[in-house]
Structure formats: structure tokens, C-alpha cells
Amino acid sequence: MTVSPVTIDVSAQTGALPQETFTDVAVIGTATAAPPDAAFDEVNQYQSASEVANDYGDGSDVHVASQALAEMGASSWYVQVLEQTEVVDEDVDDGTTVANTPVHGEAGVTASNRDVVYSTEEPPAQPDNGEVAINTATGEVTTDDGTTATLTYSYVDWSTLEELEYKGINRAHLADTRAGREHIGDYDEFVSWASAAQVGVPLPIEDPSSYADDETAMTAAHEIAGYVPGGHVLGVTAKTSADIGAYKLGQMAVNDPWLDPYFDGEGYPYAIDSIPGRLIGDPGDTGTFVGGDADGNGPVNVVVSVSGVNVLWRSVSTAGAASDYQWFDVQMTEYFATSLIENSLTSLALNRDKIPFTGDGQSMIESTIVDTLVQYTGGPDDPFAETDIYVPEPEDLPEDDRANKRWTGIELEYRLSGSAQTFTVDLTVTV
């Protein structure tokens, strides 16, 4: 045995990925001037709303959203602010489109000698006398008399949202936004990005109190939510001026990634006014907020008060009743499963010199996926009731896939444990 005065402790460093939380959230704002102590497009992480105020300005959209996140108990979140560019006095012929799309709805559109109305139609129907109509997603313009309109509007480069993907964001919200018809361009772009990035999106619909009556507000809500249908989009409204989307995001930041937000007992710390129950409805009750329009399109959840606690009535996505992703938590659980498997197989590849096209490789892949999912399967609070994995035999793989080093044909079947939302009791009383 060699004697040495030096003792060396050796610990192995593997290529395993850092453990994800799957509840990383981000708020996205816009501004015309550069933030006080930050740069456009960069993604920064914060632990307090005051830090956000220092970097982006007190009362800025991302500061308002950050205050709600902190109030809901989020320990950290990401912030990104995009540059808003204004176009002044652009002449647009009736039936054509503006030069830059989508139009930024938060900034809005103004017209010379006309009032502006926003439409979800493609193209917009001819507006009333003295008006010009615009679809902010397509940029299509329709004037009252067929003549040219002179418009001033703003736009944002949404492609910079790609920066959020490098941070592994799971849920994101357009800061301090309550969506009206003017916002469909923003959300069309935002939801499209979120779908590709597997990010969940709260879609806060404009306060019903801002409309002439609740029925008019409901019609608008259906059009807005129906414009961006998706299992990853949670439309929600409430009679309050609060940034309800940020509060929803905060709820998602402090709960399991497969959370069903219906009736979360923690509630929301803001006051609401009531919406008539006949208009709130349930899934399947068309012509209601939750049930969607007459065709079931554009369902929107409502914040209601139950026993003094403000909670979400239902958790329907904007995908609609005809979709397998009618419920928001179903799509989110699928995203969760996808991320789990992607991370586990990436770690396997990092920790092996190679994964051979043999029975050993098949066993490695199968056991890795099984071991990853088993900790989330079978328990009362687990997202999966049961899972079944199939990895094809090496000899069954196509020669082209083997030549290109691809192990294809891996199949996963899982049954969600689900979440009960209603209960029916047959009660017999004997006297």
C-alpha cells in the first residue's frame, strides 16, 4: 500500500439534468421605451415584485403582474419585456391589411376622422358610418364607405419569446392584460408560440363590467376565447379590475403541474362582483360562459364566490367540448409526461457511452421510462392511474432509422387519474 500525506476524495459527476420543478412561470410585458435597468427581450428571474419595479419601473405591466404572483406565494418567476414599435398615419385601403401584423392590442389603433372597432371576423364586416373595423390578428381593414383609412398602431416582434424556452418555462402570461377583441392578434401569436413550446397560458378575458351588459360581455368572451382554441389555454373572467391572469399564473407556480384549478381552496385574494348563474353555466350548457356559444365554441371559466372564497368555476380550456383536451389539466398533464420522458432519456444518453441497438438498449430505454413514471403513478394525488410502455425490439426497427441512429416506435399509454368536479346523490328520506 502506498503511503501518502495527501488524501483525495473523488466524487463522480454524471451528466444528469438538473431536477425540474415543471412549474416555472413567466410574465411578458411590452414597452415603447427601454426599461430603467434592464434590456428589451432579455429574460431575468426575480424573487420579489420590488426587484421587478427597480428594473422595469414601478407600476409597469410586469410589476403589476409580479405583485400578484408574489401575493399568491410564488417564490420566483421570469420576466421578459418586448419592444413596442409605433406606426404613425399609415394609409390602408378598404379590404387590405396593415403593413405590420399582428397589431398590438394593448396599444390599440386610432384612425383619422373615424372611430375604430375591433373584429374577430376575417375580413371584418362593414362597420357603421364614421367607423373603421380591424382584425388585429390578420391586419384586415374594412371601412364604412370603402375609402382609404389612415391608421396609427403599434406592433411587437413576438419571435423573441424563444428566449423563454431556454429557461424551461412551463406557464406564461401577458402581464396586466384583460383581453378584449383588440387583443386577438397578440394572443394568436402568443398562443401559437406556447403550443409549440408546450407552455400553459391563462387567458384573462376583459372585465364584464366594461360592457353594456353581461350578455354582451359573454358574446365577446366567446369570440376572444374561440379565436385561440387550445387545450393549453385557460380562458377566465371575473368582475374585477385585478390582473386575474397573473393570479392564475401564481396559483400554477405553487401547485403540482397537473393541478386542476377548479375549486382550489386557497382562493383568490381580490374582490369580485357576481355574474348571473344562468350565464355562468357548465360544460355542455351552450350559450353560457363555461359552455361556450351556441356551437360550444369559446368556453370561458368564471371566478365565483363559494362560502366566501373566490374560486374558479370549472377548468375548461378554450379547446371546446368536442376536443379530447376540453379540460385544462389534461393537456397540462400530457405536457408534464412529455417533459418527464424527454428529460429521463436525455439523462440516459448523457450517462452512457452509447445506447446500443440491442436487447440491452431496449431494456435501458424501457426501464428508464418506467422508473421515471412510477413515482407519479397509482397514488390518490398522482397524475397517472396506470401507465404502459412499449419499446420495439431492435430487429423490428427500420434499417433507415438504425442507420440514422434513431430508436423509433416507442409508445406510451397512460390513464389519467382525473379530478372529480361534480357529484350526484340519490337521497331517500324516510319519515
pLDDT in tens, 338-369: 999 999 999 999 988 889 999 999 999 999 99
* Cα 196 from Cα 198, distance rounded (Å): 6
pLDDT in tens, 158-217: 999 999 999 999 999 999 999 999 999 999 999 999 999 999 999 999 999 999 999 999
pLDDT in tens, 227-245: 999 999 999 999 999 999 9
pLDDT in tens, 294-338: 999 999 999 999 999 999 999 999 999 999 999 999 999 999 999
Percent of the chain with pLDDT over 70: 94
Secondary structure letter of residue 157 according to DSSP: -
State the Cα angle at 333 between 327 and 335, rounded to 5°.
110
User: Residue 429: what pLDDT?
Assistant: 76
pTM of the model: 0.91
pLDDT at 414 over 90: no
* Cα 348 from Cα 361, distance rounded (Å): 11
Whether 286 and 270 have beta carbons less than 8 Å apart is answered as no
* Cα 282 from Cα 10, distance rounded (Å): 61
User: Residue 5: what pLDDT?
Assistant: 62
* Cα 385 from Cα 376, distance rounded (Å): 9
Mean pLDDT of the chain: 93
User: Residue 3: what pLDDT?
Assistant: 62
Residue with cell 423490428: 396
Cα separations in angstroms, 302 against 237, 251, 255, 332, 404 = 5, 15, 20, 20, 50
User: Residue 18: what pLDDT?
Assistant: 53
Name the nearest CA neighbour of 178 among 232, 247, 77, 83.
Answer: 247
pLDDT at 289 over 60: yes
Long-range contact set of residues 215-223: C-beta below 8 Å, sequence gap at least 24: 215/279, 218/279, 218/288, 218/289, 219/293, 220/180, 220/181, 221/289, 221/298, 221/300, 222/292, 222/293, 222/297, 222/298, 222/299, 222/300, 223/120, 223/181, 223/298
pLDDT in tens, 139-152: 999 999 999 999 99
Secondary structure letter of residue 259 according to DSSP: -
